[in-house]
Amino acid sequence: MMDAAQQFGLPFLPPSVGGKTQEYFQKGVNFAVGGAAALNNSEFNIISGLNITTQDNSLWDLINLGATTLVVPGNFPIGCAPVYLKLYQTNKSEDYDPQTGCINRLNDFSVYHNNLLQQELDKQRQLHPNAKIIYADYYGALLSVYQNATKLGIQSPLFACCGAQDSKYHYSFNHGCGDKQSSVCADPLKSISWDGVHLTEASYHAIADGIIDGPYTDPPLSKLC
Protein backbone atom coordinates (compact mmCIF):
# COMPACT_ATOMS: atom_id res chain seq x y z
CA MET A 1 0.00 0.00 0.00
CA MET A 2 1.18 3.50 -0.80
CA ASP A 3 0.55 4.74 2.74
CA ALA A 4 2.76 1.99 4.16
CA ALA A 5 5.54 2.93 1.74
CA GLN A 6 5.26 6.56 2.84
CA GLN A 7 5.54 5.66 6.52
CA PHE A 8 8.70 3.64 5.89
CA GLY A 9 10.17 6.33 3.65
CA LEU A 10 10.12 4.09 0.59
CA PRO A 11 9.45 5.20 -3.00
CA PHE A 12 6.24 4.14 -4.72
CA LEU A 13 6.64 1.18 -7.07
CA PRO A 14 5.96 2.07 -10.71
CA PRO A 15 3.53 -0.13 -12.69
CA SER A 16 5.11 -2.93 -14.70
CA VAL A 17 3.30 -1.96 -17.92
CA GLY A 18 5.26 1.29 -18.04
CA GLY A 19 8.62 -0.44 -18.23
CA LYS A 20 10.39 -0.08 -21.57
CA THR A 21 14.03 -0.44 -20.54
CA GLN A 22 16.01 -2.46 -17.99
CA GLU A 23 16.67 0.61 -15.84
CA TYR A 24 12.94 1.00 -15.15
CA PHE A 25 12.90 -2.21 -13.11
CA GLN A 26 16.07 -1.73 -11.03
CA LYS A 27 14.39 -0.30 -7.91
CA GLY A 28 11.33 -2.52 -7.88
CA VAL A 29 8.12 -2.62 -9.86
CA ASN A 30 4.46 -3.39 -9.20
CA PHE A 31 3.25 -6.47 -11.08
CA ALA A 32 -0.27 -6.39 -9.60
CA VAL A 33 -2.94 -7.55 -12.03
CA GLY A 34 -6.69 -7.35 -11.48
CA GLY A 35 -8.08 -10.79 -10.70
CA ALA A 36 -4.61 -12.34 -10.33
CA ALA A 37 -4.40 -15.44 -8.17
CA ALA A 38 -1.62 -17.38 -6.48
CA LEU A 39 -2.94 -20.73 -7.70
CA ASN A 40 -4.44 -22.08 -10.91
CA ASN A 41 -8.23 -22.27 -11.08
CA SER A 42 -7.99 -26.06 -10.80
CA GLU A 43 -6.51 -25.66 -7.31
CA PHE A 44 -9.60 -23.97 -5.88
CA ASN A 45 -12.22 -26.06 -4.12
CA ILE A 46 -14.24 -23.83 -1.82
CA ILE A 47 -17.12 -26.27 -1.43
CA SER A 48 -15.02 -29.08 0.05
CA GLY A 49 -13.09 -26.68 2.28
CA LEU A 50 -9.57 -25.32 2.45
CA ASN A 51 -6.52 -27.54 2.65
CA ILE A 52 -3.39 -25.51 3.20
CA THR A 53 -0.10 -27.42 3.29
CA THR A 54 3.14 -26.33 4.95
CA GLN A 55 4.71 -25.53 1.57
CA ASP A 56 1.83 -23.15 0.26
CA ASN A 57 0.98 -19.13 0.69
CA SER A 58 4.73 -19.06 -1.45
CA LEU A 59 6.41 -18.56 1.95
CA TRP A 60 8.56 -21.68 1.56
CA ASP A 61 10.14 -20.46 -1.67
CA LEU A 62 10.66 -16.90 -0.42
CA ILE A 63 12.41 -18.06 2.75
CA ASN A 64 14.62 -20.44 0.79
CA LEU A 65 15.58 -17.53 -1.46
CA GLY A 66 16.78 -15.59 1.57
CA ALA A 67 13.77 -13.61 2.78
CA THR A 68 14.02 -13.04 6.54
CA THR A 69 10.99 -10.84 7.27
CA LEU A 70 7.63 -11.54 5.64
CA VAL A 71 4.24 -9.89 6.13
CA VAL A 72 1.26 -12.09 5.23
CA PRO A 73 -2.12 -10.30 5.08
CA GLY A 74 -5.44 -11.88 5.91
CA ASN A 75 -8.65 -11.34 3.96
CA PHE A 76 -10.84 -8.25 4.29
CA PRO A 77 -14.38 -8.36 5.75
CA ILE A 78 -15.83 -9.10 2.31
CA GLY A 79 -19.39 -8.94 3.64
CA CYS A 80 -19.00 -5.14 3.81
CA ALA A 81 -17.96 -4.62 0.16
CA PRO A 82 -20.66 -3.05 -2.06
CA VAL A 83 -20.05 -5.61 -4.81
CA TYR A 84 -20.94 -8.48 -2.45
CA LEU A 85 -23.67 -6.57 -0.66
CA LYS A 86 -25.34 -6.13 -4.04
CA LEU A 87 -24.68 -9.68 -5.23
CA TYR A 88 -25.84 -11.46 -2.07
CA GLN A 89 -28.49 -9.05 -0.77
CA THR A 90 -31.48 -10.55 1.03
CA ASN A 91 -34.65 -9.34 2.74
CA LYS A 92 -33.76 -11.05 6.02
CA SER A 93 -32.55 -8.65 8.69
CA GLU A 94 -30.84 -11.49 10.56
CA ASP A 95 -28.43 -11.91 7.62
CA TYR A 96 -26.87 -8.53 8.40
CA ASP A 97 -24.73 -7.22 11.24
CA PRO A 98 -26.93 -4.68 13.08
CA GLN A 99 -23.94 -2.44 13.82
CA THR A 100 -22.30 -2.29 10.40
CA GLY A 101 -24.92 -3.56 7.94
CA CYS A 102 -22.41 -6.07 6.54
CA ILE A 103 -23.46 -9.59 5.52
CA ASN A 104 -22.68 -11.93 8.43
CA ARG A 105 -22.02 -15.16 6.54
CA LEU A 106 -19.54 -13.55 4.16
CA ASN A 107 -17.61 -12.00 7.02
CA ASP A 108 -17.73 -15.34 8.83
CA PHE A 109 -16.14 -16.91 5.77
CA SER A 110 -13.33 -14.34 5.88
CA VAL A 111 -12.78 -15.13 9.56
CA TYR A 112 -12.70 -18.85 8.77
CA HIS A 113 -10.09 -18.30 6.09
CA ASN A 114 -8.00 -16.04 8.31
CA ASN A 115 -8.04 -18.54 11.19
CA LEU A 116 -6.75 -21.30 8.93
CA LEU A 117 -4.10 -18.95 7.56
CA GLN A 118 -2.85 -18.09 11.04
CA GLN A 119 -2.67 -21.77 11.97
CA GLU A 120 -0.51 -22.35 8.92
CA LEU A 121 1.74 -19.40 9.77
CA ASP A 122 2.32 -20.90 13.21
CA LYS A 123 3.56 -24.06 11.49
CA GLN A 124 5.81 -22.01 9.24
CA ARG A 125 7.32 -20.21 12.25
CA GLN A 126 8.25 -23.55 13.77
CA LEU A 127 9.78 -24.74 10.50
CA HIS A 128 11.70 -21.47 10.01
CA PRO A 129 12.63 -20.10 13.46
CA ASN A 130 15.13 -17.63 11.96
CA ALA A 131 12.50 -15.95 9.77
CA LYS A 132 10.13 -13.25 11.04
CA ILE A 133 6.68 -14.18 9.76
CA ILE A 134 4.13 -11.47 10.55
CA TYR A 135 0.37 -11.82 10.16
CA ALA A 136 -1.35 -8.59 9.08
CA ASP A 137 -4.95 -8.47 10.26
CA TYR A 138 -6.56 -6.63 7.35
CA TYR A 139 -9.94 -7.90 8.55
CA GLY A 140 -9.71 -6.28 11.97
CA ALA A 141 -8.14 -3.08 10.67
CA LEU A 142 -10.86 -2.47 8.07
CA LEU A 143 -13.75 -3.69 10.22
CA SER A 144 -12.74 -1.09 12.80
CA VAL A 145 -13.29 1.58 10.15
CA TYR A 146 -16.81 0.30 9.46
CA GLN A 147 -17.59 0.08 13.18
CA ASN A 148 -16.40 3.65 13.78
CA ALA A 149 -17.64 5.17 10.54
CA THR A 150 -19.69 7.92 12.19
CA LYS A 151 -16.80 9.03 14.40
CA LEU A 152 -14.54 9.11 11.33
CA GLY A 153 -16.98 11.33 9.41
CA ILE A 154 -17.97 8.63 6.94
CA GLN A 155 -21.54 9.25 5.84
CA SER A 156 -22.40 6.14 3.79
CA PRO A 157 -19.87 3.43 4.70
CA LEU A 158 -21.49 0.70 2.59
CA PHE A 159 -21.85 2.79 -0.58
CA ALA A 160 -19.25 3.08 -3.33
CA CYS A 161 -17.97 6.59 -3.89
CA CYS A 162 -17.82 6.14 -7.66
CA GLY A 163 -20.58 4.07 -9.21
CA ALA A 164 -23.98 3.80 -10.83
CA GLN A 165 -26.48 6.53 -10.02
CA ASP A 166 -29.70 5.65 -8.19
CA SER A 167 -28.48 2.11 -7.56
CA LYS A 168 -28.45 0.35 -4.20
CA TYR A 169 -25.01 0.68 -2.62
CA HIS A 170 -24.17 3.00 -5.55
CA TYR A 171 -22.95 -0.07 -7.40
CA SER A 172 -24.07 -1.77 -10.60
CA PHE A 173 -22.74 -4.82 -12.41
CA ASN A 174 -23.61 -3.18 -15.73
CA HIS A 175 -22.37 0.36 -15.18
CA GLY A 176 -19.07 0.74 -13.37
CA CYS A 177 -17.10 3.74 -12.21
CA GLY A 178 -16.25 5.91 -15.20
CA ASP A 179 -19.30 5.05 -17.28
CA LYS A 180 -21.64 7.83 -18.41
CA GLN A 181 -24.27 6.43 -16.05
CA SER A 182 -21.96 6.72 -13.04
CA SER A 183 -21.32 9.55 -10.60
CA VAL A 184 -18.67 10.36 -8.00
CA CYS A 185 -19.26 11.35 -4.39
CA ALA A 186 -18.34 14.85 -3.29
CA ASP A 187 -15.53 13.80 -0.95
CA PRO A 188 -13.80 10.40 -1.36
CA LEU A 189 -12.11 10.95 2.02
CA LYS A 190 -15.52 10.33 3.60
CA SER A 191 -16.03 7.00 1.81
CA ILE A 192 -14.63 3.54 2.51
CA SER A 193 -15.14 1.98 -0.90
CA TRP A 194 -14.02 3.72 -4.07
CA ASP A 195 -15.78 1.73 -6.79
CA GLY A 196 -17.53 -1.07 -4.92
CA VAL A 197 -14.52 -3.38 -5.20
CA HIS A 198 -11.46 -1.28 -4.34
CA LEU A 199 -11.05 0.85 -1.24
CA THR A 200 -10.45 4.59 -1.15
CA GLU A 201 -7.06 6.06 -0.34
CA ALA A 202 -8.46 7.15 3.03
CA SER A 203 -9.36 3.54 3.86
CA TYR A 204 -5.94 2.23 2.90
CA HIS A 205 -4.38 4.96 5.02
CA ALA A 206 -6.42 3.82 8.03
CA ILE A 207 -5.44 0.20 7.42
CA ALA A 208 -1.77 1.11 7.09
CA ASP A 209 -1.92 3.01 10.38
CA GLY A 210 -3.53 0.04 12.08
CA ILE A 211 -0.99 -2.39 10.66
CA ILE A 212 2.14 -0.32 11.29
CA ASP A 213 1.32 1.61 14.46
CA GLY A 214 -1.73 -0.18 15.81
CA PRO A 215 -2.68 -3.60 17.12
CA TYR A 216 -3.31 -5.38 13.84
CA THR A 217 -0.08 -7.36 13.38
CA ASP A 218 1.02 -10.58 15.06
CA PRO A 219 3.72 -10.38 16.25
CA PRO A 220 3.58 -6.54 16.55
CA LEU A 221 5.27 -4.93 13.55
CA SER A 222 6.57 -2.04 15.66
CA LYS A 223 8.68 -4.45 17.73
CA LEU A 224 10.18 -6.27 14.75
CA CYS A 225 10.88 -3.47 12.26
**Per-residue model confidence as pLDDT tens digits over 95-151:** 999 999 999 999 999 999 999 999 999 999 999 999 999 999 999 999 999 999 999
Banded pLDDT at 188 (limits 50, 70, 90): very high
Mean pLDDT of the chain: 86
Angle between helices 104-127 and 138-147 (to 10 degrees): 150
pLDDT value, residue 52: 39
Statement: residue 167 has pLDDT above 90: no
pLDDT value, residue 101: 97
Residue 154 is which amino acid? Answer: I
pLDDT value, residue 27: 80
Does the pTM of the predicted model rise above 0.85? no
Tell me, yes or no, whether 11 lies in a domain.
yes
Looking at the chain, the whole-number percentage of residues with pLDDT higher than 90 is 56
pLDDT value, residue 45: 45
Tell me, yes or no, whether 88 lies in a domain.
no
- Of 60 and 44, which is predicted with more confidence? 60
- Asked if 157 and 200 touch (Cβ cutoff 8 Å), the reply is no
Which domain, by its residues, includes 18? 1-32
- Asked if 146 and 102 touch (Cβ cutoff 8 Å), the reply is yes
pLDDT value, residue 47: 33
pLDDT value, residue 37: 65
Short-list 162, 50, 67, CA closest to 117: 50
Tell me, yes or no, whether 1 lies in a domain.
yes
Tell me, yes or no, whether 168 lies in a domain.
no
Residue range 29-53, pLDDT digits in tens: 887 777 666 666 555 444 333 343 4
Tell me, yes or no, whether 93 lies in a domain.
no
Tell me, yes or no, whether 25 lies in a domain.
yes
Banded pLDDT at 59 (limits 50, 70, 90): confident
- Asked if 52 and 117 touch (Cβ cutoff 8 Å), the reply is yes
- Asked if 114 and 139 touch (Cβ cutoff 8 Å), the reply is yes
Mean pLDDT of all residues in 192-218: 92
- Cα separation, 199 vs 76, whole angstroms: 11
Looking at the chain, the whole-number percentage of residues with pLDDT higher than 70 is 87
Query: What number of residues does the chain have?
Result: 225
pLDDT value, residue 83: 95
Residue 1 burial (10 A CB sphere; 0-12, 13-18, 19+): middle
Tell me, yes or no, whether 18 lies in a domain.
yes
Tell me, yes or no, whether 87 lies in a domain.
no
Number of domains within the chain: 1
What are the beta bridge partners of residue 133? 70
